[in-house]
Structure 1
Amino acid sequence: MYMEAMVNNHKVEFLLDTGSDITLLNEKVWKQMGAPSLEKTNVMVRNASGNLMKIYGRLRCEYEMKGHKAQGYAYVTPFNSLMGLEWIQCNEEMVYHMKMMVAEVKAKDNSVERELMETYPTVFEEGLGLCTKEKAELILEQRMVDIETFSKET
């Protein structure tokens, strides 16, 4: 999901990433802002695959999203602009919607467990049941949710 925000009075389109603590700013966007000076940083940033990402420095900036103004750091990178939790959590409306999504996911997960327990009650009974040679343990894996991602050039 993409979202526009004003960063130092420049419109920037960010990919929302609740799995990232920090916000990344694409270097082309940074240059369009006039390439304001960057602070040096020794922060090591890894992508979702665990590979290190190139970071040129961090930019102290003012940003506005959905009518809420705040200040924070954006780390300049050759990759797409990405809004992390640090910025997302500064907006109460966005926090509310994130909590609603988490509650919805939890509710769906519980319904799957409940359905399995109702359909196969003997599997969940205490004791060895029909398995008398060795104690067995049934472990339910977390459900995977398919998410379509849309690539968008900055």
Structure 2
Amino acid sequence: MPDTTPAALAQPPAARAIHPGARIGHVHLKVANLNRALAFWRDVIGLEEQQRIGDQAVFLSAGGYHHHIALNTWQSKDGAWPPPGTTGLFHVALVYPDRPALAAALQRLLEAGWPLEGASDHGVSEAIYLRDPDGNGVELYRDRDPAAWPRDATGRLAMVTRRLDLEALLAEAI
């Protein structure tokens, strides 16, 4: 029988790591207007439409996968952005295979006139930050080789936040 005393309940259960092969499969975003959201996710970001359910939902992906991003209006049609100071999704992150592919994504954003909120070099990755039309945070990034990740004196990961040189990145666009 498990110990249910207050002291025992205050202790976290034995930590067991998730299987190393687990990954994020897809993200479903509530949007106010499906066509407006598609104009961003499909036309600016470049995800491909896989399936559509009328004006209620659309499933988008890279490379023909069933969906990486799903957009729906089931509980949010004509809704407003969440007010500041509320909980919810901070951002969804799309990982690009290499620096030239990330540079091409940046070039698409600039050509579309899409505003950026930031760009950072985190040591482990290079990232571009923006918002979709519904106020959802979006991170476009590429990982560095894990052998190049910054580490502290004990060998633990030591991520940083530095300014990402966008001009140097754009010079590598494919």
Does the TM-score normalized on the shorter chain lie above 0.5?
A: no
TM-score (structure 1 length as normaliser) = 0.27
- Indicate the structure whose relative CO is greater, using CA pairs within 8 Å and at least 6 residues apart: 1
Higher helix proportion: 1
> Whose radius of gyration is greater, 1 or 2?
1
